[in-house]
């Protein structure tokens, strides 16, 4: 019996030690790099339909993006915890997760901000304009309330509190200085000279205002309920009365919306033939749509190119995977693979390349002969770095004459927009109606390019294969993203498809 007790004690001690070591290894008390934290905030802001710049600026003001102090312990000030300094005085959140789960802490901070927004939109505190959450200036009183709805944040009372800035002004300053986003103040003359404004006060939205870049959904989108809350409700009308309760991860399809009401974008969703109603966009996570079904890639739900990417998957131009990484730069090798598979889909083959390309003659002019096209580029370039699965695709477009040995020598490099134009332009000709078009009158940043490069930009532009990066600019030296490459492939595959 004595041995049993001793053994039991040892097991308990070892278990405690293991848990301490495990927790130390899991959480470590080490702050992730700011960029990593900002990426998490961006993701959560997208899901919760909150302007990401506000959530990031709050994190900067509250904790300088640091969840742990210099001793490796969670930052705690009174009852406020962690990166977002979430006040858990009333126990609305899991305290241990607030302390040691940074993502949960950010989710809770977003939830707190939405609660303050709701106070403003339902006039528990003052509000701005029509309370469209996609207008940054409309969040003024919600930001004030995030800091406790204290009268010290009345800008007319700063001198009384020896403060240089109100809390909401600190957030605005971070947005402008660190994210280059100007948020205009409301007209302070609407505020009282002292104390807090009345909850019935509605201040006009400033005439100059900025978008919050909230992603909205479409009819036919597949969604599921999502967030740190345990249940959600469907209502009979936008901001109406509750008619159904939903659990987390409840699947549904959007049938109507969006409708702006009481500071939220509302969607009517159908769960089944017996259960439908209206719910806020903030608690819906898009997972697919009626045309393409559930999205294969986990990172495209909020992306502008999501349907393009799914269409390429359907055409077998891109391969299935857990992530697509749409905003990563595309390497030359990746671009060559996609281009080859696009040509396969369009049934453009090297046997009839002289008919399909702008160039039996153009290729000869550029010094590419049929004999060169049939040679093996990998025999001529020693030490070429290329992934085995890419060889057949690269050989294909090399044989057609879209790339040369110089392109192969640095095949792992990221592709620039100029290089993409040079390669892709060889697939197209320019209609007679565009002969006289001066492409430099459309894009002002082409002056430093060679004539061949300018001609390529013109070709892809008039054929509607590539467009500008911003108004009046092509950005030839910027790297091409995987999403942009996908958009090009979608156009190439359709324009060259054999009827």
Q: 203 with 317, same domain?
A: no
Among the candidates 181, 215, 249, a domain finishes at 215
* Structure confidence at residue 27 (pLDDT): 47
The answer to whether residues 384 and 235 belong to one domain is no
Domain contains 59: yes
Distance CA 33, CA 390 (A): 34
Considering just the CA atoms, what is the radius of gyration of the chain in Å? 29
Q: Average pLDDT for residues 242-250, to the nearest whole number?
A: 97
Work out the percent of the chain whose per-residue pLDDT is above 90.
78
Same-domain pairing of 329 and 415: yes
Is the distance from CB of 125 to CB of 201 less than 8 angstroms?
A: no
Mean pLDDT calculated for residue range 240-256: 97
Mean pLDDT check: name the lowest of 97-101, 247-251, 290-294, 384-388.
384-388
Boundary residue ending a domain (215, 232, 263): 215
Residue 6 lies in a domain: no
| Residue 7 belongs to some domain of the structure | no
What CATH number is attached to the domain comprising 169?
1.10.530
Give pLDDT, residue 20: 41
Do 178 and 256 have their domain in common? no
**440 shares its domain with 349:** yes
Q: Is residue 144 part of a domain?
A: yes
Give the chain's domain count.
3
- 210 lies in the same domain as 238: no
pLDDT 10s digits, 292-321: 999 999 999 999 999 999 999 999 999 999
Question: Considering the chain, what is the average pLDDT of its residues?
Answer: 88
Evaluate if residue 23 carries a pLDDT over 80.
Answer: no
The structure tokens listed for 333 are: 């090798």
In a domain, 40, yes or no: yes
pLDDT at 481 over 70: yes
- Does the pLDDT value for residue 382 go beyond 80? no
Please report the pLDDT score of residue 370 as a whole number. 39
Q: 74 and 168 share a domain?
A: yes
pLDDT greater at residue 293 or residue 349: 293
More confident residue, 364 or 131: 131
Residues 233, 169 share a domain? no
Half-sphere exposure of 39 (CA within 13 A, CB side): 7
- C-beta pairs of 76-82 under 8 Å, 24+ apart in sequence: 81/105
pLDDT for res 498: 57
Residue 241 — φ and ψ, nearest 5°? -90, 155
pLDDT-derived band at 361, boundaries 50, 70, 90: very low
Yes or no: say if 430 and 462 are a contact pair by the CB < 8 Å rule. yes
Mean pLDDT of 24-41: 82
Rounded mean pLDDT, 135-139: 98
Domain identity same for 66 and 138: yes
High-pLDDT (> 70) share of the chain, %:
87
- 255 plus 311 within the same structural domain: no
Structure confidence at residue 90 (pLDDT)? 84
pLDDT of residue 405: 85
Give domain status of residue 25, yes or no.
no
- Determine, yes or no, domain membership for 14: no
- Do 54 and 197 belong together in one domain? yes
pLDDT at 471: 84
Residue 376 reports pLDDT greater than 80: no
The whole-number average pLDDT for the span 129-157 is 96
Residues with Cβ within 8 Å of 255's Cβ and at least 6 positions away in sequence, in order, are 219, 268, 269, 270, 276
| In-domain check, residue 5 | no
Give the CATH number for residue 240. 2.30.30.40
47 and 127 both lie in a single domain = yes
The pairing of beta strand 76-77 with beta strand 80-81: antiparallel
Average pLDDT of 218-225?
A: 98
Boundary-marking domain end, from 215, 247, 278: 215
CA atoms within 13 A on the CB side of 70: 0
For residue 349, the enclosing domain spans 306-495
Compute the distance between CA of residue 473 and CA of residue 444 in angstroms, rounded to an integer.
6
**SS3 sequence of the chain:** CHHHHHHHHHHHHHHHHHHHHHHHHHHCCCCCCHHHHHHHHHHHHHHHCCCHHHHHHHHHHHHCCCCECCCCCECEECCEECCCCEECCCCCCCHHHHHHCHHHHHHHHHHHHHHHHHHHHCCCCCEECCCCCCEHHHHHHHHHHHCCCCHHHCHHHHHHHCCCCCHHHHHHHHHHHHHCCCCCCCCHHHCCCCCCCCCCCEECCCCCCCECCCCCCCCCEEEEECCCCCEEEEECCCCCCEEEEEECCCEEEEEEEEEEECCEEEEEEEEECCEEEEEEHHHEEEEEECCCEECCCCCCCCCCCHHHHHHHHHCCCCCCCCCCCCCCECEHHHHHHHHHHHHHHCCCCHHHHHHHCCCHHHHHHCCCCHHHHHCCHHHHCCCCCCCHHHHHHHHHHHHHCCCCHHHHHCCCCECEHHHHHHHHHHHCCCCHHHCCCCHHHCCCCCCCCCHHHHHHHHHHHHCCCCCCCECCECCCCCECEHHHHHHHHHHHHHHCCCC
- Window from 211-215, 285-289, 361-365 with minimum mean pLDDT: 361-365
């Amino acid at each position: 019996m004595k041995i049993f007790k001793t053994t039991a004690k040892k097991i308990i001690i070892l278990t405690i030690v293991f848990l301490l070591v495990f927790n130390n290894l899991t959480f470590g008390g080490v702050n992730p790099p700011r960029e990593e934290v900002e990426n998490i905030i961006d993701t959560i802001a997208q899901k919760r339909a909150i302007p990401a710049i506000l959530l990031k600026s709050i994190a900067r003001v509250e904790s300088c993006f640091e969840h742990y102090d210099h001793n490796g312990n969670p930052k705690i000030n009174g009852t406020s915890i962690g990166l977002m300094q979430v006040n858990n005085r009333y126990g609305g959140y899991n305290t241990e997760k607030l302390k040691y789960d940074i993502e949960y802490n950010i989710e809770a901070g977003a939830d707190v901000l939405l609660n303050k927004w709701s106070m403003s939109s339902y006039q528990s505190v003052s509000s701005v304009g029509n309370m469209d959450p996609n207008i940054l200036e409309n969040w003024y009183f919600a930001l004030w309330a995030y800091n406790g709805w204290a009268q010290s944040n009345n800008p007319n009372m700063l001198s009384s509190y020896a403060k240089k800035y109100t809390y909401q002004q600190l957030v605005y300053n971070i947005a402008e200085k660190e994210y280059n986003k100007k948020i205009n103040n409301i007209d302070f003359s609407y505020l009282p000279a002292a104390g807090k404004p009345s909850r019935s006060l509605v201040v006009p939205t400033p005439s100059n205002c900025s978008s919050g870049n909230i992603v909205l959904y479409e009819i036919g989108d597949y969604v599921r309920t999502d967030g740190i809350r345990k249940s959600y409700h469907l209502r009979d009308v936008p901001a109406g009365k509750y008619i159904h309760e939903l659990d987390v991860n409840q699947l549904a399809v959007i049938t109507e919306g969006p409708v702006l009401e009481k500071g939220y974008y509302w969607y009517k969703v159908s769960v089944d033939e017996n259960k439908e109603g209206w719910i806020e966009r903030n608690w819906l996570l898009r997972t697919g749509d009626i045309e393409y079904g559930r999205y294969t890639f986990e990172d495209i739900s909020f992306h502008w190119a999501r349907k393009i990417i799914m269409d390429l998957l359907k055409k077998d131009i891109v391969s299935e995977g857990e992530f697509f990484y749409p905003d990563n730069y595309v390497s030359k090798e990746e671009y060559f693979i996609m281009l080859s598979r696009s040509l396969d889909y369009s049934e453009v083959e090297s046997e009839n390349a002289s008919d399909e390309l702008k160039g039996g003659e153009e290729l000869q002019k550029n010094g590419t002969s049929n004999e060169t096209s049939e040679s093996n580029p990998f025999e001529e370039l020693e030490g070429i770095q290329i992934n085995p699965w890419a060889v057949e695709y690269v050989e294909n477009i090399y044989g057609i004459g879209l790339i040369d040995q110089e392109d192969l020598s640095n095949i792992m490099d990221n592709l620039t927009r100029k290089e993409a134009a040079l390669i892709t332009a060889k697939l197209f000709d320019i209609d007679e109606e565009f002969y006289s078009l001066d492409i430099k009158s459309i894009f002002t940043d082409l002056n430093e390019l060679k004539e061949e490069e300018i001609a390529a930009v013109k070709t892809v532009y008039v054929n509607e294969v590539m467009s500008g990066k911003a108004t009046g600019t092509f950005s030839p030296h910027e790297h091409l993203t995987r999403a942009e490459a996908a958009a090009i492939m979608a156009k190439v595959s359709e324009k060259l498809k054999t009827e």
